[in-house]
Chains A and B, each alone.
Chain A
Amino acid sequence: MSLLVARDLSVSASIGGETLPVLQSLCFSLAPGKILGLVGESGAGKSMLGLTIAQMLPPGFACSSGSLSFGGEDLIAMPAVKRRALLGRDIAFIPQEPLSALNPVLTIGQQIGEHLARLGLATAAERKARALALFDSVHLPQGEQLLDRYPHQISGGMCQRVLIAMAFAGKPRLVIADEPTTALDVTIQARIVRLIVDMQKRNHTAVVFITHDLRLATHICDDILVLYAGRPVEYGPARRLFSAPAHPYTRCLQLASPSMRGERRALLALPERMPGLRAWKDLRGCAFAPRCPVAIAGCSQAPPALEETAPGHRAACIRSAETGGIVAPPPTAVAPAGEHQPVLQAQRLCKTFAIGGLFRRMRFSALRDVSFELRRNEFLGIVGESGSGKTTLARLLVGLETPSQGRIRFATEVSDTRRQRRSEIQLVFQDPQSALNPRRRVGTIVTQSLEAEGTATPAARAERARELLREIGLAPEMAARFPAQLSGGQKQRVNIARALCASPKILVADEIVSGLDVSVQAQLLDLLIALRRQRPFSMIFISHDLSVVRYLCDRVLVMYRGEIVESGATGEVFAAPKHPYTRALLAAMPPDDPSAAWAPALFESAAGSAP
């Protein structure tokens, strides 16, 4: 007996007079007490399912055909009053951004009380007792005090736990979790996932878990549905789907993300990117065919049907049998590791910020006694979660902040003016959207450092722009475009090109792949490796993603609360971590092997301290 069944569910949007398919023929069934993973890259249409259930689709979007039934009743045709009665009680949601899902001007107690009142708890005393019991179930400490707190006074992870408590408060039959952990730190992420699974088991709830992380989905879900360009491409039991994918896209997703164990293998970087919504209508055959490594002429003739390849396992691919043959490219020779000569030495760096107003001045120590050296042509990774001081360190190194104590020495003696530092060290920004001036063309952005020198002629600048664009793998015509006309991955490439223009000896890259989809991430990582082969440079690569650091970096520093707690060669640190924090970081990563046990630490019980 299935709880949630979708039959040929399609959603379409009418934008500017055109009708565009958003979701096409979605079929799945979810039994009570099971978890369905909905996996896909950003823009694949994953979130549309949750919005369809809540009937909160954006204006112009509507369910065009098919059915979606919940407990035998049709959710699409259901009158609004009846659906409202279901939402929050029988169907609950866990949102992506915990902080924006809670009302900032109401206390946690008021918000949870309101929800509990709706669920039928009449008296305030009842509601309070229930709220405290719920907090206990999600391991939130000091529930009494938490009731009087406002959302901004508690951490994102705690907000998400409050929302999980609220979602499970009415013993719902179905919970929709839409990327519930993307906004959180790695270790918190793992705990939140573990918590959702625990709550789900305890209440025998069915969960739709929407995520972009195939590996994570494999570990927690019973079934997985992979979406590409709004179409289901593969659907089957999670472990089977991961160990024997029947659609090339699923296989490529696996090969595009770096692994944490075993030999360092090269990544399979798919060319191009998923077509945008407006192009979906014109795709005649398989949407993935243009990027597929095993595509044949027949692939772009007609859309493939979702066919069973094994019992319970279906894939929409005519070349399904070929999928197993897709392998990652042979490992490329990594550029010679760093030489011993240091190009940068940080000596006992400290940074203290004064916060607060005139009367209550507090000092906050962002970096404490950080010493390390960066060697010539070395890629040095820095890992740690938000608040560990990674970004402060980056800003100190490039000269945007001055250290409170300690000093930074470059191999060649430079004075502290930025003009002199320009050819020594450059920063690549985290958010490509904000890092590119929307009113400048790509060609002028990448050659800004020539502009700063003020000596290059327009022709020389244009030539240099073409050269840089070629180097970072963009067509020279892109020079005439504005940043708004580029995709996220292309923007990040432009961002890198601008930093490279001054030919700096050191690049500092602050979380430059974190907001990107795995296939685009793989392209960028390979670009960095290719650049390193072409022109030797040293890089400080800051990331919260250990697997990326493992793939790219020779050495790694682990930072925790402003201090370096562990450092060493990447392979050694990750294979045999010594510091408990490094071990916690590693334990938070879902293992590559789908059958390996993965039990990230649970939140400490109510008595313990909050993370």
Chain B
Amino acid sequence: MTRIPQWMMSARVLAGLSVAALICLAALFAPLLAPHDPNEQTLTSILLPPAWLPGGQADFPLGTDSLGRCVLSRLLYGGRIAMTVALLSSFGAMVLGAVLAHVAGYFGGAVDWFIGRVVDIWMSFPPVILALIFMVGLGPGLRNVILSIILVDWTRFCRVLRSEVLIVTRRDYVTAARLLGFSHWRIIAHEIAPATTPLLITLASLEMGIAVIVEAILSFVGLSVTADTPAWGQMIADARLSIYQSSWNLVFPVLAIFVTVFAFNILGDGLRRTLDVRLAEAQRA
């Protein structure tokens, strides 16, 4: 099959994917792209505006913060944290949520009831508070940020996927596979999972946006990575103190979060439109 898959043709997917890829590349090559060390303090030139404004210096393209650190460099390095968290935590939440959703939807009965109640209880906590509680318990660090987002957000996958699994499980071809004597795990892996994968991918891309926001919130309140690692939320927190002297310091990290989340959201929406089983099947019929 040399045909370009349909999802690649969607403008939303292409736009979302290319912006996300650009951010990823920028984060990956931060050491090469950044003009300064992100933690290097130039106390002689603090709160500089961007270079194109009066008083700006070409040396600091996006200006400096209250400690004289280069905003552009900090943004690029902060992107590494944001993207790592986005990719790994959404992947982890996807795996955990999907496994439980398939188990619940396929076996039904008491297993389904139990998993459903756990999800209910889990989702009754405000998600950010729950993440904060985990961070307090686990201590700061990138690994723990990822872990706490996984532990909070798997329920999104579980709840949505479970109903999809229920629908697919009722299809006759799943019954046919049971009659032929396949094992349960094989039926889930070969008959059901391929049908739920498009939804899974869509949810994962939306989850990446959510993970970026949650990480920003955690680092805003100082419960994410340690202070010597630049993160977007931290930058916002720092800029908050000098907001009247230099509003630019606030604008750039907020813009970075906005663009990243927006890219993931339109990617997710584009994927949903092109990959959604029900929409695709309705078109084919």
Contacts and interface: CB of A to CB of B under 8 A. Distances in A.
B179 A398 contact: yes
A484 interface: yes
B284 A448 contact: no
Interface string A31-43: 0000000000000
B180 A448 contact: yes
A400 B179 CA distance: 8
B181 A419 contact: yes
B182 A452 contact: yes
A438 B176 contact: no
B173 A434 contact: yes
A380 interface: no
Given A422-B181, A434-B171, A439 B176 contact: no
B34 interface: no
Contacts of B180: 418, 422, 448-449, 451-452, 498, 502
B175 interface: yes
B194 interface: yes
A436 B284 contact: no
A393 to B, nearest CB: 15
A439 B179 contact: no
A451 B191 CA distance: 13
A435 B172 contact: yes
A502 B182 CA distance: 13
Contacts of A400: 175, 178-179
A221 interface: no
B223 to A, nearest CB: 43
Interface stretch (A256-264, A424-432, A461-469): A424-432
Interface residues of A, number: 26
Contact of A429 (B172, B178, B191, B195): B172
B281 interface: yes
B274 to A, nearest CB: 16
A418 B178 contact: yes
B123 interface: no
A598 B231 CA distance: 83
B176 A427 contact: yes
Nearest to A501: B180
A418 B180 CA distance: 7
A437 interface: yes
Contacts of B177: 448, 452
Contacts of A484: 284
Interface string A571-583: 0000000000000
Nearest to B280: A438
Nearest to B183: A452
Contacts of A430: 172
Contacts of A435: 171-173, 176
A429 B175 contact: yes
Interface string B274-285: 000000010010
B264 to A, nearest CB: 26
A498 B175 CA distance: 13
Nearest to A510: B172
Contacts of A421: 179, 181
A427 B179 contact: yes
A398 to B, nearest CB: 6
Contacts of B176: 427, 429, 435, 448, 498
Interface string A74-106: 000000000000000000000000000000000
Nearest to A417: B181
A398 B172 CA distance: 14
Nearest to B178: A418
A439 B172 contact: no
A450 to B, nearest CB: 9
B172 A426 contact: no
Nearest to B181: A419
A505 to B, nearest CB: 14
Contacts of A427: 175-176, 179
Contacts of B284: 484
Given A422-B181, A498-B180, 16 more contacts: A417-B181, A418-B179, A421-B179, A421-B181, A422-B180, A435-B173, A437-B173, A438-B281, A439-B194, A448-B182, A449-B180, A449-B181, A451-B180, A484-B284, A498-B176, A502-B180
5 contacts: A429-B175, A434-B171, A437-B173, A498-B176, A498-B180
Interface of B: 171-173, 175-182, 191, 194-195, 281, 284
Give the 7 A-B CB pairs with smallest separation, nearest first: A419-B181, A435-B172, A429-B172, A437-B173, A434-B172, A452-B180, A452-B181
